[in-house]
Amino acid sequence: MKKILIIMVFSIILLGLLNAQDCPCRFEDFEEVAFPPVLTDLGETAPWTVIDNDGDFNTWFQGTIPCSGLQSAGIIDIGVDDDWLITPCLCLDPEACLVFDFWAAVYHPGVFVDFEVLISPLFATGDCGDCPDPDPNWGWVTIDQVFVFDNTVCENFTYDLTPYAADNMCGYVAIRVTNINIGGFIVDDVTYPCLCCDDPPCPVTLSSFTGASVQGEYVSLTWTCESESDMLGYRVYRSQSDIGSSEFTSPLIVAENLSYLHDYNYEDYEVENEATYNYWLEGVACDGSTESWGPVTLTVSQEEPEEVPEQTVLMGNYPNPFRPKTNIEFNIRKDSQAILTIFNTKGQIVERAEFDAGYHNFEWNAGTNSSGIYFYKLESDNYSETRKMILLK
């Protein structure tokens, strides 16, 4: 197998431009200091809401018995209840991500819980600040009524919100606990639609643009798109000076116009050994408008890099969350071997592989596995590390 020598990578990391058209899902694991969580990444205040509608002062709080991580949303109560955990104001347009997915369990054996999943009446607004505060007295629509008994292992609940969506409309989704015999109930790792105040449509959302020289024979360029719409395609420009004096332009690489994360690759064989090149990427929209990224600057070389790392380490996976593929990156030190294991929240192994010393980037295709939380663990000699990843469908 040819070894890839990355001489210099200039990675263009852009903000994920969320939008009503093909806007991606958001994720909440309740690990923040504040509870209920408050989203401020868009310059807006978009809070989750907790409502103690029965006034007994036993309502949702930040729990320490999670499905993953360290925290969750929890509630402890006795008897008939009416406590609401409500999302921020969401975009419920048909072109948005319309998934509501979470994991839930009871605290102890013998506990039972009745809860409902509800969606509010829809309203038109383009700004989170214009959303009315959620009110339990609205005419909420019941999506599901659930009874959980004696299940201390986190269970996955997934709902398609498409039947409730409407053009350019917003609303809320809630989990309402109506009865607990005695004890506690937790909710964790919630995947939900984007916010109604997320940015307007953008033809392409590019998250990375990287390049590598392969054994001095050619240059491999890769770019990752979070989503695309109304794109014609891409062109690659190459120069040994600046973009104003481009020496090479690729043919148009036709866009796939997918609403989920995906990669493109272009290989340039018209390069010389020991030469340094600058590469730019141009995106061409259907209306003729263009956007550029780069440069990626690298030197073509046949030199062999030091292929054996000094220590074993599990670095993480990208993208995360993902659908349906992700890359798990890890190093295994000289004269050592390691086992990578992927398993679900029930501890069931879904993938297991052994690797020799070296630098590794393992692509996992989740295939038909159900959406939700998965863990991956690297074990070698005296090293063991476990991390979490989220599969979206």
Task: Give the position of tokens 């103690």.
Answer: 52
Flag the least confident range among 1-5, 45-49, 83-87, 267-271: 1-5
Looking at the fold, whether 170 and 46 belong to one and the same domain comes out as: yes
Rounded distance between C-alpha atoms, residue 366 and residue 132, angstroms: 39
* Contact residues for 382 (Cβ-Cβ < 8 A; gap 6+): none
Looking at the fold, whether 163 and 229 belong to one and the same domain comes out as: no
**What is the band of 43 on the pLDDT scale with cuts at 50, 70, 90?**
very low
Domain-terminating residue out of 248, 266, 299: 299
CB-based contact 117:157 (threshold 8 Å): yes
* Contact residues for 287 (Cβ-Cβ < 8 A; gap 6+): 230
Closest CA to 9 of 248, 219, 275: 219
Exposure pattern of 355-369 as b/e (b: 16+ CB <10 Å)? bebebbebebebeeb
Closest CA to 224 of 322, 297, 328: 322
pLDDT in tens, 160-202: 999 998 888 889 999 999 999 888 899 998 988 878 765 444 5
Domain-terminating residue out of 192, 212, 237: 192
Q: The domain spanning residue 317 has which CATH number?
A: 2.60.40.1930
Assess if residue 308 is contained within a domain. Answer: no
More confident residue, 48 or 79: 48
Looking at the fold, whether 105 and 226 belong to one and the same domain comes out as: no
pLDDT of residue 252: 87
Tell whether the model's pLDDT for residue 31 goes beyond 70.
Answer: yes
Radius of gyration of the chain (CA): 24
> What would the mean pLDDT of 343-363 be, rounded to a whole number?
88
Domain-terminating residue out of 166, 192, 218: 192
CA 206 to chain centre: 14
* Distances in whole angstroms, Cα of residue 151 to Cα of each of 59, 114, 117: 21, 13, 18
Q: The domain spanning residue 48 has which CATH number?
A: 2.60.120.200
Looking at the fold, whether 33 and 168 belong to one and the same domain comes out as: yes
CB-based contact 20:94 (threshold 8 Å): no
- State the first-to-last Cα distance of the chain, in angstroms, to the nearest integer: 33
CB-based contact 155:104 (threshold 8 Å): yes
> What would the mean pLDDT of 345-374 be, rounded to a whole number?
88
86 in helix, strand or coil?
strand
Rounded distance between C-alpha atoms, residue 161 and residue 46, angstroms: 20
Q: 3-state SS string over 303-372? A: CCCCCCCCCCEEEEEECCCECCEEEEEEEEEEEEEEEEEEEECCCCEEEEEEEEEEEEEEEEECCCCCCE
- pTM, to two decimals: 0.51
* Distances in whole angstroms, Cα of residue 167 to Cα of each of 19, 86, 155, 228, 268: 13, 22, 32, 20, 44
pLDDT in tens, 96-134: 778 899 999 998 888 899 999 999 999 886 555 578 899
Query: Which residues form the domain of 361?
Result: 313-391
* Distances in whole angstroms, Cα of residue 187 to Cα of each of 73, 86, 122, 150: 5, 12, 24, 15
Residue 245: DSSP 8-state: G
Sequential DSSP letters for 131-181: SPPP-TTS-PEEEEEEEEES--S-EEEEEE-GGG--TT-EE-EEEEEEEEE
Rounded distance between C-alpha atoms, residue 322 and residue 188, angstroms: 18
Looking at the fold, whether 183 and 38 belong to one and the same domain comes out as: yes
